Amino acid sequence: MAELGFEVIGVDVDPQKVAILQRGEVPFYEPGLDEVLASNIAAGRLRFTTSIEEAAAFADIHFTCVGTPQLAGAQRADMTQVFGSIEALAPHLRPGALVVGKSTVPVGTANVIAERLAKIAAPGVEVAWNPEFLREGFAVEDTLRPDRLVVGVRSQRAEDLLREVYAPLLAIGTPFLVTDFPTAELVKVAANSFLATKISFINAMAEVCEAAGADVAQLAEAIGYDPRIGHRFLSAGVGFGGGCLPKDIRAFMARAGEIGAEEALTFLREVDQINLRRRSHTVDLALATLGGSFAGKGVTVLGAAFKPNSDDVRDSPALDIAVSIDNAGARVKVHDPKALANAARVYPNMTYEQDVMSALKGADLIIHVTEWTEYRELDPQEVAKVVNSRHIIDGRNTLDPAAWRKAGFTYRALGRPNA
Ligand code: UGA
């Protein structure tokens, strides 16, 4: 918003995070965000506070961007932060303020918030729902050049305000869709469910390819030339993770059950199962490669983040696989260019290596699970000199099988038994 020219206050309940941001530093890894942050702070358009009163007194429009993680021990979303932020903000809002929800929420939430604000906020306070579709690693680009803007509104005034907010993006031709609340809420979970389904589809094909002796990478390339199918999100491998796709499909199923549409989404259970099976299959493949026992074997896991260009390890297939093999008795070493601090916070007892060649030293098996460019650029001949035995599993199908084989490695990939 500051980059679009507005004066912005960012509010968070965590004083440490606010202090870091106020210094112009980003408390997580997101390419390009530090420059945008620093330049807007320097230009005086952006500041941070823990005071919700200050923000309420200052702003006409309030974007709530809090998380909706999976509730512990359940499939549905934990809505504590969404309702908590509304309860904290509501009493301080100026009359006529617009509260714009960005969070991924169970359908029906915007309506509940509108009813609550009508009771406890100043007259004329309104709600709009404006889901975000940004990807980690491309957050700046996706925010400043989105595919589309979706706004769920109940008044012309709310629509006009949001058209004003997004005027620079509308000027560059960004599609702007005006809907009711439930449609806007559903667009977000439908989009993520479709992406998850596409990935699990190709991973299901990988399972069939493994049984049939076929090659899923070639299959994906071939079907992707059909423009109705397309090549994107058709990379078979260890599957999807992160703080969005896995919890969103689960929360969507849970919500569908609550509103009487459970049957419509039973296929998402299968999508989730296919996805999780890729992780256990990789562990099985590792075990088979090592001759049936992990005991005392050195296994180097390349990657901890759920995808490259991110330091996020939430529901990361890479870390899940590393932990399973570590628990099974191997000597696991994990490398990642950015995510080791986060990984160590979640699993403090695993061995982490900052330097990739140190991580590879003495390995009996290498498992490539997050497709950082750095791993594609490894020289298999150099790696061959430091490992104990030459075995590699490519969990993302992005390495060059011929180059690794030439260096004496057995190369195995998911869905490509003969690659
Ligand atoms: C996802 C959506 O792509 C965004 O549009 C959405 O805004 C965001 O969730 C959200 O709900 O906030 P993100 O979680 O950053 O974004 O990551 P993706 O790029 O979607 O990747 C998700 C996972 O799928 C990663 O683990 C990735 O490795 C995996 N993936 C992706 C595959 O296994 N194969 C593919 O072909 C593509």
pLDDT tens per residue, range 26-48? 999 999 999 999 999 999 999 99
**d(C-alpha 195, C-alpha 9), whole Å:** 33
Model confidence, pTM: 0.96
148-167: average pLDDT: 98
Encode pLDDT of 6-19 as tens digits.
Answer: 999 999 999 999 99
Q: Which residues of 329-347 are buried (b: 16+ CB within 10 A; e: fewer)?
A: ebbbbbbbbbbbebbbeeb
Encode pLDDT of 240-299 as tens digits.
Answer: 999 999 999 999 999 999 999 999 999 999 999 999 999 999 999 999 999 999 999 999
Give me 392's structure tokens. Answer: 């590699």
What is residue 194's predicted lDDT score, i.e. its pLDDT?
A: 98
Atom 5 (ligand 1) nearest CA:
133
**Nearest residue to 92 (alpha-carbon basis) of 39, 127, 53:** 53
- Closest ligand 1 atom to 196 CA: 24
> Would you say the CB of residue 398 lies under 6 angstroms from ligand 1?
no
Yes or no: say if 133 and 188 are a contact pair by the CB < 8 Å rule: yes
**d(C-alpha 267, C-alpha 167), whole Å:** 39
Yes or no: say if 290 and 365 are a contact pair by the CB < 8 Å rule: yes
Encode pLDDT of 302-346 as tens digits.
Answer: 999 999 999 999 999 999 999 999 999 999 999 999 999 999 999
Going from the Cα of 118 to the center of ligand 1, the distance in angstroms, rounded, reads 36
Q: Mutation test of ligand 1: which of 195, 229, 312, 375 has the most ligand atoms closer than 8 Å to its C-beta?
A: 195
Going from the Cα of 114 to the center of ligand 1, the distance in angstroms, rounded, reads 30
Yes or no: say if 81 and 66 are a contact pair by the CB < 8 Å rule: yes
- Closest ligand 1 atom to 235 CA: 36
Which amino acid, residue 8?
V
Using the predicted structure, report yes or no on whether residue 163 has a pLDDT greater than 90.
Answer: yes
Phi, psi of 99 (to 5 degrees): -100, 120
What is the full DSSP assignment across 235-271? --SS---SSSHHHHHHHHHHHHHHTT-GGGGHHHHHH
Atom 29 (ligand 1) nearest CA:
240
Give how far Cα 215 sits from Cα of 5, 210, 305, Å.
50, 8, 26
Going from the Cα of 122 to the center of ligand 1, the distance in angstroms, rounded, reads 39
Give how far Cα 255 sits from Cα of 3, 67, 180, 314, Å.
36, 17, 18, 22
Q: Tokens 């993520």 correspond to what residue?
A: 192
Give the DSSP letter of residue 94: P
- 334 forms beta bridges with 301, 352
- Closest ligand 1 atom to 232 CA: 36
Yes or no: say if 85 and 93 are a contact pair by the CB < 8 Å rule: no
What is residue 94's predicted lDDT score, i.e. its pLDDT?
A: 97
Per-residue pLDDT band at 419 (split at 50, 70, 90) = confident
Can you list the domains of the chain with their CATH numbers? 8-187 (3.40.50.720), 197-273 (1.10.1040.10), 275-413 (3.40.50.720)
Q: Mutation test of ligand 1: which of 147, 192, 394 has the most ligand atoms closer than 8 Å to its C-beta?
A: 192
Contact residues for 294 (Cβ-Cβ < 8 A; gap 6+): 286, 287, 325, 328, 329, 330
> Would you say the CB of residue 134 lies under 6 angstroms from ligand 1?
yes
> Would you say the CB of residue 371 lies under 6 angstroms from ligand 1?
no
- Closest ligand 1 atom to 243 CA: 14
Phi, psi of 412 (to 5 degrees): -125, 140
Phi, psi of 418 (to 5 degrees): -110, 10
- 98 forms beta bridges with 61, 126
> Would you say the CB of residue 234 lies under 6 angstroms from ligand 1?
yes
**d(C-alpha 184, C-alpha 219), whole Å:** 35
Q: Which residues are catalytic?
A: 244
Give how far Cα 51 sits from Cα of 1, 101, 233, 252, Å.
19, 19, 41, 33
**d(C-alpha 94, C-alpha 59), whole Å:** 8
Which amino acid, residue 86?
I
Atom 28 (ligand 1) nearest CA:
307
Q: In 347-400, which ranges are continuous DSSP H helix?
A: 356-360, 373-376, 380-386
Q: Mutation test of ligand 1: which of 244, 369, 372 has the most ligand atoms closer than 8 Å to its C-beta?
A: 244
**Nearest residue to 363 (alpha-carbon basis) of 342, 334, 339:** 334
Which amino acid, residue 177?
L
Q: What is the CA radius of gyration of the chain?
A: 24
> Would you say the CB of residue 415 lies under 6 angstroms from ligand 1?
no
What is residue 237's predicted lDDT score, i.e. its pLDDT?
A: 98
Atom 9 (ligand 1) nearest CA:
244
> Would you say the CB of residue 247 lies under 6 angstroms from ligand 1?
no
Mean pLDDT across the chain, nearest whole number?
97
Yes or no: say if 89 and 99 are a contact pair by the CB < 8 Å rule: yes
Helices (H) and strands (E) in the chain, counts: 18, 13
What is residue 98's predicted lDDT score, i.e. its pLDDT?
A: 98
Atom 11 (ligand 1) nearest CA:
244
Encode pLDDT of 171-212 as tens digits.
Answer: 999 999 999 999 999 999 999 999 999 999 999 999 999 999
Atom 21 (ligand 1) nearest CA:
240
CA dihedral 146, 148, 153, 159 (to 10 degrees): 80
